Amino acid sequence: MQAVRAARPRGTRRAPDEGTGEISYRVTIACTRAQGEAIGSAEDLFIASEAPPVVVADEPDETKPDDWVIHAYFEAEPTSEELIELRGLGSGEPEIEHLEDSTDWITKSQQGLQPIRAGRFFVHTPMHYVDRPADTVNFEIDAGLAFGTGQHATTAGCLDALDRLAVSGAAFANIADIGTGTGLLAFAALALWPEARCIATDIDPVAIDVSRENAAINGVKTGHNPGELLLAVADGMDSPMLAARAPFDLLIANILAGPLIELAPTFAKSLASGGTVILAGLLDTQADAVAAAYQAQGLQLIDPGHGEWPVVELKAP
């Protein structure tokens, strides 16, 4: 399962119980991988809907990497206009299911998520708590709507990158996680550099609420002091709290290629001398353009990343 709907600056559209009713309809439509990934950057989905659906994309068969499906969860029977919009997102005709009970179908659909190991980190859902190894840094992230459970390769890649930095002897005292989603990357950074000041932001207030809940579950202290996590709603770097904390010696952003390129000037200005930036959420075909945007700001490319979902590392002069 890849919850690509939240692959925009990592957050959620809305949890099922935040609307006026229960999730009662699920609409499924086949799509290509490109179509599934595209919904992550679509900020204008269902803007005319009174109760917009929660939309996620799924890769049901890893042996068929281009055959994805899109699921849309509605509180009420979808209108003809909403079905037309769904047809435009995928391929073929949407299949409508009436869900007979009040089950949280979005969470249920993700309960099969297996734990992942990335560097020294082990990330799991509550049902896999008993599987926690004794020799890992463990985080429990519920299988909800927010992007960043660790299942997506971009999140796991960022965890690996942070672990490698720590192994190399890097030390950071002022950290920012932009587009935090579940808070996971900020938690990992504080686990590696426990005396650091850390701020995590997201454009979506729901994601910040999710991050705060996850911090409590995982014993991460929130607050303004060293070793504590400050959480704030922010659009990119546009936040008084970010401005007050800058410059950062480590900046992490797992969002999308387009926003990463747009944010290059403000990210570069927010980095301390010699500061490191970790960028993810981009495809291998987008890595060069993202890296070039930051090199144009005077940053040095340290690691261009590799694989389908590269994690790019750059350093300020």
> Is residue 15 assigned to a domain?
no
Q: Judge if 85 and 228 occupy the same domain.
A: no
Q: Which domain holds residue 91?
A: 23-101
> Is residue 8 assigned to a domain?
no
**In this structure, what CATH number is given to the domain that contains residue 209?**
3.40.50.150
DSSP 235-272: BTTB-HHHHHHPSEEEEEEES-HHHHHHTHHHHHHHEE
| Residue whose tokens read 């049901």 | 60
> Is residue 292 assigned to a domain?
yes
Sheet holding 121-124, edge to edge: 116-118, 121-124, 137-140
Question: Rounded distance, CA 161 to CA 155, Å?
Answer: 10
> Is residue 307 assigned to a domain?
yes
Q: Are strands 121-124 and 116-118 parallel, antiparallel or unpaired?
A: antiparallel
Q: Judge if 215 and 130 occupy the same domain.
A: yes
Are the CB atoms for 256 and 287 separated by under 8 Å?
no
Question: Rounded distance, CA 143 to CA 111, Å?
Answer: 6
CA proximity to 229, closest of 243, 239, 218: 218
Q: Judge if 277 and 159 occupy the same domain.
A: yes
Amino acid identity for residue 264 in this structure: A
Q: What SS3 class is residue 25?
A: strand
Listed residues 35, 69, 101: the one ending a domain: 101
Q: Judge if 79 and 165 occupy the same domain.
A: no
Give the number of domains in the chain: 2
Q: Judge if 198 and 259 occupy the same domain.
A: yes
CA distances from 7 to 13, 23, 198, 209 (A): 11, 22, 22, 17
* Neighbour count for residue 19 (Cβ, 10 Å): 17
pLDDT tens digits, the chain, 317 residues: what are they?
333 333 333 322 333 333 334 558 889 999 988 887 777 545 567 877 777 787 877 777 767 777 888 888 888 889 999 999 889 989 888 999 887 655 555 555 555 567 888 999 999 888 778 888 999 999 998 755 444 444 467 888 999 999 999 999 999 999 999 999 889 999 999 999 999 999 999 988 888 998 999 999 999 999 999 999 999 999 889 899 999 999 999 999 998 888 899 999 999 999 999 999 999 988 888 999 999 999 999 999 999 999 888 999 999 99
